[in-house]
Structure 1
Amino acid sequence: MYEKLKINGKLLKELDYGILIAAVIIVIFGAFNIYSATHNAYGTEYFKLQLIWLVLGLIVVYLILIFDYSFLMNYATVIYWASIGLLVINDVFGHTSHGAKGWLSIGSRMIQPSEFAKLGMIIMLAKKLDDMEGNINTPKNFFTLCFYAIIPMALIVIQPDMGMTMVCFFIVLGIFYAVGLDLRVIFGGIGGLIISILLVWNSGLIEGYQKKRITALFNPEADPSGANLQLQESLKGIGSGGILGKGFLKGTQVGGGFIPEAHNDFIFAVVGEEWGLIGGLALMLFYGIMIYKFIKIAKSSKDVFGSVLCIGVISTFLFSLLQNIGMTIGIMPITGITLPLMSYGGSSILTSFMAIAIVLNVGMRRKKINF
């Protein structure tokens, strides 16, 4: 039994340790920033929990690396529909937080089903595209892929979690673009998205406070004590950090508790205030290393399935970075999107490590190895 839990040494030589090292550094750096944002009220509780999630994430990475990633293709249908079932259960029985029914209680902890559904969608789209040999430019293939993409997004909209809906949309957009979908269809899809947003905007699904968050993007000075409170406090923190930052545990905006959700969605504001521009650029460097290596693995994959898996993960990280950091500096609307590996949260950390493990798995097995 123990032999089955071992990874062959020849495969381990193909493992890109640089990705894992960068990911671990980001999580540890994030844990210190989480501690800075929460220590006054909670001591080391959140810091310790984040490190526990890191250990669990690394265990998940190891378990995923044991099996050839073709295992995911064989069980893609089960994984996909199980994640859809989880979303349905969540939409009916889920816990409401910040206006969205996005959490399921499991004992004393909660999970975010949409995080797992996001991965399920990527795996299903990768399987279907592999079956199609990468040919997306036929009506049958295109609408088949759209069918599997729309179901999870519709269930996430119902919650309503517009941030995760946006992430899923840009995952699909990234995959479709990478596999060569006709650009006219892509632009038509973007136009359809705009129309859909307008319909949802007036449907009553979006709460008033969520609308204010979006409209606040175009008028950041308005309502500084309401919809724009997070943004204004975030900008004060990041701006006051300057080039070198104020230093660890020396942030007045962070330490004073003026930035809501500083340990979670607005973790980058902590980085900006306490570590300054240099700290923010260093963080971006580690993300850049990871994404660059993701792209290399996607290009060298031995099959369509592996390439699309990597593209889905790349799209996830790229848009999450753009959206999360963008909302802290006022160039993107405020949504509940975490900064991958940095923000506090078990579901976010675990699914990020799952995604990383899938890419590492594709990279390990991109060559034929004689045992």
Structure 2
Amino acid sequence: MLRKFKLDSKLIKEIDFGMIVTIILITLIGVVNIYSAVGMGNAEKQFFFLIFSLVCLYFLLLIDYNILENYVVLFYWFNMLLLVLTKFVLGSEINGATGWIKLGPLSFQPSELAKIAMILMLAKKIQDYEGKINNLKNFVITAMYAVIPMGLIVIQPDMGMCMVSFFIALGIFFCVGLDGRIIVAGLFGLAVFIMTVWNSGLIKGYQKRRLISFLNPEGDPSGDGLQVTRALIGIGSGGFFGTGVQFGANAGKGYTDVFVPENHTDMIFSVLGEHWGTIGCIILLALYGILLYKMIKVAKASKDIFGSVIAVGMVSYFLFAILQHIGMNIAIMPITGITLPFMSYGGSSLLTTTLSVGLVINIGMRKKKINF
């Protein structure tokens, strides 16, 4: 019975343990910052989520990713149905968006899984079309599988997750060689789409003000610009070496710990900047750089289009999420509520990001035929 849950030694040799160590290190840095920001209770939960996520990652590695291809269509449409149910039946409103399902003391964000479903579906369709994405029919059909989840996420409304989904699709289409003219047309279409949604009434006035507050946070430092203004003060106060992480009775008394709203989720980078300083931010970015580099290597070495596109999709997701989260903490990107992968508090976010990397590891460890 236990043999079913044991990886073959030949496969174990192909595992990129560097990726696993990197995500553990980033998550542990996040746990320390969550402890500083909101206390031991949430830090303990995040550490538990880490252990649970690593166990799920192990079971994911047992399954050949090519077998998963057989269930992609079912997984995709299940997630689309879940998005519909979240909006109209099961969802709870948090920060103006009906995008969460509460399960007792826990909350789950279906759009986190939906973006993985979208990546898998795009990978399957592009493999079905043997990479011939510049064929108009192939492109339109494939693009629709990206448009559907984005549309369902917009009506929640969750512009941050919609932006993530769009740039995942853009990264995939760019890397598989989509004609540049189509990409430019897509960006133009995005601009029109944003203007339409902006004036549709889906986004409320206070949400609009929050989105554009980064352009002039000092204009309303106690209102819409409060979050980013205080985040900037906290990061600036950290200097090069940071103020240091305080434990025990001194925990939770730093500037960002007290004065920055959503400091353990949307603004976790500001907590890092204060307590760890520039050197801490550099270390974090270096760890992300290592992770992205390894994922890109897998994308290049994959034995098939399906695996390569999945890896590209995950790289696009992580790259945009990292740039967007850090950007909104330093006032160069709009405040969209995008969490920082492995750093921000949240069980569903940590699980899905861990499984995302797990898929890439799975592809890398099966990049060549292994004879048993």
State the TM bucket, normalised to the shorter chain. Answer: over 0.9
Task: Tell me what 1:19 maps to.
Answer: 19
Report SS of the residue matched to 2:102: strand
Report SS of the residue matched to 1:221: helix
Q: How does 1:24-173 map to 2 (within 5 A)?
A: 24-39=24-39, 44-93=40-89, 94-173=91-170
Report SS of the residue matched to 1:75: helix
1:367 aligns with 2:364: no
Q: For the residues of structure 2 that align with 1:214 and 1:36, how far apart are their CA atoms?
A: 27
Partner residue of 2:255 out of 253, 256, 263: 253
Task: Tell me what 2:233 maps to.
Answer: 236
Q: For the residues of structure 2 that align with 1:184 and 1:221, how far apart are their CA atoms?
A: 39
Q: Which amino acid aligns with 1:124?
A: M
Offset, 1:215:
2.1
Task: Tell me what 1:349 maps to.
Answer: 350
Q: Deviations over 1:80-112 (max 9, x none)?
A: 001111101101120000000010112321100
Task: Tell me what 2:272 maps to.
Answer: 271
Q: For the residues of structure 1 that align with 2:88 and 2:107, how far apart are their CA atoms?
A: 15
Query: Retained in 2: the 8 A contact 1:72–1:123?
Result: no
Query: Retained in 1: the 8 A contact 2:215–2:332?
Result: no
Q: Which amino acid aligns with 1:75?
A: Y
- Number of residue pairs matched by the alignment: 366
Q: For the residues of structure 2 that align with 1:314 and 1:234, how far apart are their CA atoms?
A: 27
**How much identity, in percent, do the aligned residues show?**
53
Q: For the residues of structure 2 that align with 1:304 and 1:209, how far apart are their CA atoms?
A: 43
Query: Retained in 2: the 8 A contact 1:36–1:254?
Result: no
Q: For the residues of structure 1 that align with 2:173 and 2:224, how far apart are their CA atoms?
A: 35
Q: Indicate the larger mover: 179-188 or 219-228.
A: 219-228
Task: Tell me what 2:219 maps to.
Answer: 222
Task: Tell me what 1:310 maps to.
Answer: 311
CA RMSD of aligned residues (A): 0.9
Q: For the residues of structure 2 that align with 1:121 and 1:294, how far apart are their CA atoms?
A: 18
Give the TM-score normalised by structure 2.
0.97
Query: Retained in 1: the 8 A contact 2:215–2:331?
Result: no
Offset, 1:220:
2.2
Q: For the residues of structure 2 that align with 1:133 and 1:106, how far apart are their CA atoms?
A: 41
Q: Indicate the larger mover: 105-114 or 15-24.
A: 105-114
Give the TM-score normalised by structure 1.
0.97
Q: Which runs of 5+ in 1 are unaligned?
A: none
Q: For the residues of structure 1 that align with 2:334 and 2:87, how far apart are their CA atoms?
A: 24
Offset, 1:368:
1.1
Q: Which amino acid aligns with 2:280?
A: G
Q: Deviations over 1:238-268 (max 9, x none)?
A: 001010000102763124x100011111000
Report SS of the residue matched to 1:96: strand
Q: Which amino acid aligns with 1:204?
A: G
Q: For the residues of structure 1 that align with 2:223 and 2:109, how far apart are their CA atoms?
A: 27
Q: Which amino acid aligns with 1:357?
A: G
Displaced runs of 4+ in structure 1, greater than 4 A?
Answer: none
1:3 aligns with 2:6: no
Q: Which runs of 5+ in 2 are unaligned?
A: none
